[in-house]
Amino acid sequence: MIEVKNLSFVYSPKTPFTTQALFDINLSIETGDFFGIIGSTGAGKSTLVSHFNALTKIQKNSGAVIVDEIDLSAKKIDLKKLRAKVGMVFQYPEHQLFADTVLKDIMFGPKNLGINNAEAEQRARDAIALVGLDCAEIAERSPFELSGGQKRRVALAGVIAMHPEILVLDEPTAGLDPKGKREIMDLILRIKADCPTVVMISHNMDEIAEYCNKIAVLRRGRVMGVFSPRELFGSEELLESCGVELPLVTELAVKLNGLGVAVDKSVLTENELFEEIKKAVGVKNA
């Protein structure tokens, strides 16, 4: 689905400010993946995903990215086709809202794809419902009057209305409170029913451990490896060598275990930890 081959990228080449952000990246993202990308700040995560919808152009002799059959290293790329396929949601997507009503904002993407007004409006209304907002209440309001969480939902709706096959999310829960984070993650799971492939950058290891089936670890522009959550978070050596922290739930399980509470140290989600604690203290399921 997305094939990244020997991709390198240099900002401001041939200037005193030149920075190589990516070094020889190889990755394979398959249909159905919930693909996590992690790594400390400046590792190259945003630079990497910005190639997936050709927002960043592949530089000469710097590798390739193939999205389905679209070769993004080609001279001419069918951007319309690509952007209909790959929906990109940036960090703080609410900063990209611009229209004078929520409905118009969400209709903008589908209309840009050449979809007629009536269908674009229907898609926008469906997307508003999917992100859990009340269409009658919100459609004609200015997006700028909404709360932070509502704005983010509207921005997500704008991408969903384009019916992408691949959703790329750059830190989708950044800056939200715990309830807002949970709601956005639930929403992403709902979107995944129709858009089977999700790529998510996150600094939140609990989210990564709970939702992703594969995790690519980037460090200083290089891929340290692609792992399953259990492989990565279950290996002290890997965590150490990749410079990755444990999810908080796993850390808590390790601490409880150290105190003699017989819980499995490899839990990755709140539910798994809850079940382990119930077992350890002898609570039977009702």
Interface residue list for ligand ATP (CB under 6 A): 11-12, 19, 21, 39, 41-47
Minimum Å distance from CB 245 to ligand ATP? 14
DSSP one-letter code for 164: -
Q: Which does 285 bind (CB under 5 to 8 A by kind): ligand ATP, Mg ion, none?
A: none
Nearer to ligand ATP, 44 or 229 (CB): 44
From Mg ion, ligand ATP, none, which one binds at residue 47 (CB under 5 to 8 Å depending on kind)?
ligand ATP
As beta bridge partners, residue 88 has 168
Smallest distance from the beta carbon of 174 to ligand ATP, in angstroms? 9
Q: Which is nearer to Mg ion, 120 or 168 (CB)?
A: 168
**Residues β-bridged to residue 215:** 36, 227
Which residue is closest to Mg ion by CB? Answer: 46
Under 8 Å between Cβ of 223 and 25: yes
Pick from 28, 46, 235, 257 the residue near Mg ion by CB under 5 A.
Answer: 46
Using DSSP's 3-state secondary structure scheme, residue 57 falls into coil
**Shortest distance, position 13 Cβ to ligand ATP, whole Å:** 10
Binding site for Mg ion (CB under 5 A): 46
